[in-house]
Amino acid sequence: MNADETYERGLELLQQVNGETGQQVIDSLGDVSPALGNQIVSWAYGEMYARENLPPRDRQLVTLGVLTALGGCEPQLEVHIKAALNVGLSPAEVVEALLHAAVYCGMPRSLNATFVAKKVFAERGLLPVTS
């Protein structure tokens, strides 16, 4: 597979997993760091996400864990909570993952992530979530 094919695979996967939200991030990089946009498409999606050992649903559980723990990644959490829903996690599962994270990275990080989920769920008419 050459560089162009990897890029194409990445673009397709980005579209599939993140919908238009992913494309908007890449677009907004166009005039400041097109190379970062390219690396996200080609590498993060075309190389890494495309690997077969873990299905998208499992990848999103790991990603939710990482982003919640990092903190300060609310924009990326928004993208990846949407992605989590897109690949088959239910709102209740997303919320439970963020609650579970509290044991390991504390209540504040879990709270911040949960309020991002609330925003995403509100936009999609998925509230209330019962837990």
* Contacts to its own copies from residues 71-110, by CB under 8 A: 71-73, 75-76, 92-93, 95-110
Smallest distance, Å, CB 16 to its own copies?
16
Token pair belonging to 118: 């609330």
Which tokens sit at 46? 């075309």
DSSP conformation class of 53: S
7 belongs to the binding site for its own copies (CB under 8 A): no
Distance, CA of 8 to CA of 11 (rounded, Å): 5
Question: Which amino acid is it at 113?
Answer: A
If binding is defined by CB under 8 A, does position 67 make contact with its own copies? yes
Contacting residue, 8, 23, 29, 50, with its own copies by CB under 8 A: 29
Subset of residues 111 to 130 that bind its own copies, contact rule: CB under 8 A? 111-112, 114-115, 117-118, 121, 127-130
Candidates 11, 40, 50, 87: give the one binding its own copies (CB under 8 A): 40
Q: Do 25 and 79 form a contact (C-beta atoms < 8 A)?
A: yes
Closest contact distance (angstroms) between CB of 37 and its own copies is 9
CA dihedral sign, ordered 9, 10, 14, 17? positive
Q: Which distant-in-sequence residues (6+ apart) come within 8 Å of 74 by Cβ?
A: 112, 116
Q: What is the smallest separation between the CB atom of 67 and its own copies, expressed in angstroms? A: 6
